[in-house]
Structure 1
């Protein structure tokens, strides 16, 4: 796509005025490299403040809208650092869309960063979402002894897993239709959509193994004791250390599910330091069976990478299928 220059966009200027006041003007922009999907910039304002903006074509407007809802849900828990959403918008004439966020200054990890990160992520996962009919009316409460639910009032038979809208994992769609069963949700909203997209990579032998795995998924996975609000794509590239010495999580694919999926993702492309997992377990104990389940949670992301980036990820998918289905 064409590389956008944010200073040219009237709608972005309006969002900046709404967030920082009418006196705030863009004085300088700088490209930030590293993302595969969007163009990203640091914006310096005439007031001395900074902001972060992602831009893409206008057809990706919904991508930014759903990301903003995930950020809002995570931020409203107050459990962990999440950038504030300052605005989203589009410009039909220029054909672009954008997401404007609070600027978080990134610094090297220092001190007890990993321990604090572990504690805060565990706190996020144990924060209960009572109602999620509309993101503006979310109410949270810290889990004690009672069970509470993310969809519908307590005492009903709610669908505990999912989200109030579909969103994206990378640039692929992510289905979030609410389900009462985590295993049903993971089968129908995570594995099956990715498998359908990857069909042209799969021979008859792999298809048989996948069918067996899907039919017997309840033999491999557990129904979690409680639902957790998840980041959804928690690898090292989506976390930074702020100048407050704490972790800030970015680029979510948020939904309500089993907290083990977030932990599994932290170990897919390398692993966080052991201090992180020890600290996490102090707040939210990690079941011993996690080690047996985590590669099934890797499977979703590896299928997604296969669909996004091609055949180089097929071997990793096959390896996991062979591990669970002989």
Structure 2
């Protein structure tokens, strides 16, 4: 195997990967897509693989990501999900890693957005009895707890908003004048959110960077933060940072219409992601958090 930068000083990682692949390794090449973990294309005699690797907080994200990918791959949907071949925690002599299928990509075809909308609606029809997931996972570097609850507003308050707010407070990123707005929102959460919507299987981190077009033109999803929740959390995030055409939402609504009041619920759901970005990146997101708090508190 060539001594490319990804593995120049990681002999134990190279050996663990060879054991996982079951074939000699030929080349490791850094690729884009590693904003949290190191991302590498691994060429082997058994074919190419996609590898994510890292230490400490990064390594702790891999087990939950692997569980999420496996959950998304189970339903019979037109969505392509990379197969997981191996995941290992960090050890004293090597970083942790997640070894996956390499998916060749191509520019999206004209029907891509509509295909994605239809496929996401199919995915969301896969449901559980309660809200949560079998394991805790991560949203970026932040832990994402997934303890099961029977009531959706309770789940969203305790498993989503509360941990992010407390982390922001602990790091002096939560001004005290936001507390009254948050309290007002939390008091009204059972009114604004449905009590028991179908607990849909959701990707959990559905921004455009986590969607790809395969070489065959079908939509593929990567980097999930999976759980069973209200399906609108995925749709809300597609609005937050853009990158999804109108045909996406039109196709989704045609397949599974939304109830009135979606716009307010989307703002509440996206508050979770905005506070998460505040926790990751600091004050650049403070104004968006404040504005969203003010908007949903007035509703």
TM over 0.5: yes
Aligned residue among 278, 293, 297 for 2:269: 297
Distance verdict in 2 for CA 1:193–1:58, change over 3 Å: closer
Once the two structures are TM-superposed, the CA of residue 26 in structure 1 deviates from its matched residue by 1.4
Cα deviation 1:270-317 (Å, max 9, x = unaligned):
141111111112221122321121111110000000001101101000
Return 5+ residue gaps in structure 2 as ranges: none
TM value normalised by structure 2: 0.91
Cα deviation 1:190-243 (Å, max 9, x = unaligned):
001101111122333211111121122112222353110010000000010001
Does the 8 A contact of 1:58 with 1:95 survive in 2?
Answer: no
Alignment-derived partner of residue 143 in structure 1: none
Does the 8 A contact of 2:53 with 2:98 survive in 1?
Answer: yes
Deviates more, 1:76-85 or 1:253-262: 76-85
Classify the secondary structure of the residue corresponding to 2:156. helix
Once the two structures are TM-superposed, the CA of residue 34 in structure 1 deviates from its matched residue by 3.9
Does the 8 A contact of 2:6 with 2:29 survive in 1?
Answer: no
For 1:245 and 1:4, how far apart are their aligned partners in 2?
A: 30
Classify the secondary structure of the residue corresponding to 1:33. coil
Classify the secondary structure of the residue corresponding to 1:266. helix
Once the two structures are TM-superposed, the CA of residue 90 in structure 1 deviates from its matched residue by 4.3
Aligned residue among 45, 67, 70 for 2:68: 70
Alignment-derived partner of residue 15 in structure 1: 20
Where has structure 1 moved over 3 Å in runs of 4 or more?
58-62
Does the 8 A contact of 2:151 with 2:196 survive in 1?
Answer: no
Alignment-derived partner of residue 190 in structure 1: 160
Once the two structures are TM-superposed, the CA of residue 117 in structure 1 deviates from its matched residue by 1.0
Return 5+ residue gaps in structure 1 as ranges: 18-23, 130-148, 150-159
Alignment-derived partner of residue 37 in structure 1: 36
For 1:275 and 1:31, how far apart are their aligned partners in 2?
A: 34
Cα deviation 1:12-39 (Å, max 9, x = unaligned):
111111xxxxxx3211111012432100
CA RMSD in angstroms comes to 1.7
For 2:62 and 2:244, how far apart are their aligned partners in 1?
A: 28
Aligned residue among 198, 214, 217 for 1:245: 217
TM value normalised by structure 1: 0.84
For 2:111 and 2:296, how far apart are their aligned partners in 1?
A: 37
Q: Summarize the alignment of residues 97-246 of structure 1 with structure 2, pairs less than 5 Å apart.
A: 97-129=96-128, 149=129, 160-199=130-169, 200-246=172-218
For 1:224 and 1:111, how far apart are their aligned partners in 2?
A: 36
Distance verdict in 2 for CA 1:284–1:99, change over 3 Å: same
Does the 8 A contact of 1:4 with 1:55 survive in 2?
Answer: no
For 1:57 and 1:306, how far apart are their aligned partners in 2?
A: 23
